[in-house]
A and B are shown apart, each in its own frame.
Chain A
Amino acid sequence: MIKIKGLWWKALGAIIFLYVLIGGMTVPLNSGITYTNPSNAKTGQRIVMEVTGYNTHFKSALQNRAWLKADSSHFIQATSVQQNDEMHVLLHFDLPFTMPSKEKVQPLTLIIDNEIDGAFVQPNALFVTVSDSLQNDLSQWQTLQLGSLNKKSGLTFPYRNILNETIRNTFFHVALWFAMFILLIIGLYHAIQYLRTGIYDHDIQSATINKVAIMYGVFGLITGSIWAKFTWNTFWTTDVKLNMTAVAMLIYLAYLVLRGASTDTDRRAKLSASYSIFAFLALIPLVFVIPRLTDSLHPGNGGNPALGGEDLDNTLRLFFYPSIIALVLLGMWMSQLKIRYERLQEKIFQNQK
């Protein structure tokens, strides 16, 4: 390992983490729709839809427009939009008698657009039951494209329905796991170096960096559990990624036990170095392969796109990647302190002999 003297990388880690903290907490969320009423209607009805927005500016906006969308070429525009305040709006729709598809119940997507908040959608906002009617007339549907929709100006994070503001946890919970993985790779490098060269210092570095990585893993489990409580409504699910990660963490806890069990430093170093290689090799299939083979609530599993689309768009990336770098640097800083302590202790031990 290259010995980086000086303080600059520690300061860099702290500054980047500060940037992530401030930016990650202050950048606003996109506008979204939290509540619509009614959620059911019949064809041919005239309905008044009550909508509650999140981060919206209905009252200050000059022109609020709303549509119900059946598919990419069938829309109905609201006949009138009545804004009570910034967050609440009443939309009047005349539902057509016929639906573009033959299904009995048709879900419609609500689209609202104004010049301050841009366009935002609520999928499946209204379920329309098709009542028996002889008419087969699609002329009430707007078949043209929506024309120019507004775009919200400035930096915003995507609004996701259940996640809401907790999408910011991407910078902390998800980045912790990535940082843990990078630290484990550094620890693995030192373990291999120890086995190759037999220099005891590599064992100190490997063990300490691994310990900080395991600490990150425990933080990841706790923070993930808290996040799950307020999005999936339970501290622990039977989600395969959770269980496999728990197994991986137990393998690494066994590493700590192994290190604590032996007092013979030479034997301990050899055993733990080879064990950490096996533990790392077990971690890859447990965390990256098995969850992808089955369904999981985590993104990137069961055929979901891995960390892409709305779950990690370019504005989130602005803070997500720096957060990983910062957590790795801070982790290296913490382990460097411990490494210096261990070296001192080793020196005292050698002197006593």
Chain B
Amino acid sequence: MKDYKKKFSKTKNKLFMFKLSQIISFVSLCCMMILINTQAACQGSSIDFLRSTGKIYTVVIVIAVIFIGIVIYLYRLDHKLTKLENQIKNEQ
């Protein structure tokens, strides 16, 4: 019974972490889309945020995209490794 409980909480934890990763990537994607779309919406105004100060924020977003992409890759690898570790543990 105890073992079952442990296992249950573990899967629950895993599910939570997976959901969390999805939420984080979704939220960051949303932020970026909102940021970019607000630029599109206020094109009438002379200077908007991403075009202000010589468009430096465009460079910032490009770097952020690469960084987030690499982090998502590493997170997924982490997830897979954890699975493999558990598999080895169960076999022993």
Contact = CB atoms under 8 A, between A and B. Distances in A.
A202 interface: no
A321 interface: no
Interface residues of B, number: 27
A334 B54 contact: no
Contact of B65 (A164, A168, A223, A334): A223
A29 B59 CA distance: 14
Interface string B25-67: 0000000000010011000000000110111101101110110
Interface residues on A, range: 20 to 34
Contacts of A163: 55
A219 B51 contact: no
A36 to B, nearest CB: 16
Interface in B1-46: 36, 39-40
Nearest to B80: A341
Interface string A155-167: 0000000011110
Contacts of B74: 334
A39 B84 CA distance: 67
A166 B81 contact: no
Contacts of B70: 330, 334
A211 to B, nearest CB: 9
B84 A21 contact: no
B63 A172 contact: yes
Given A219-B69, A223-B66, 8 more contacts: A54-B54, A168-B56, A219-B66, A227-B62, A334-B73, A341-B80, A344-B84, A348-B91
Q: Which 6 A-B pairs have the closest CB atoms?
A: A165-B54, A164-B54, A165-B56, A223-B62, A230-B58, A168-B59
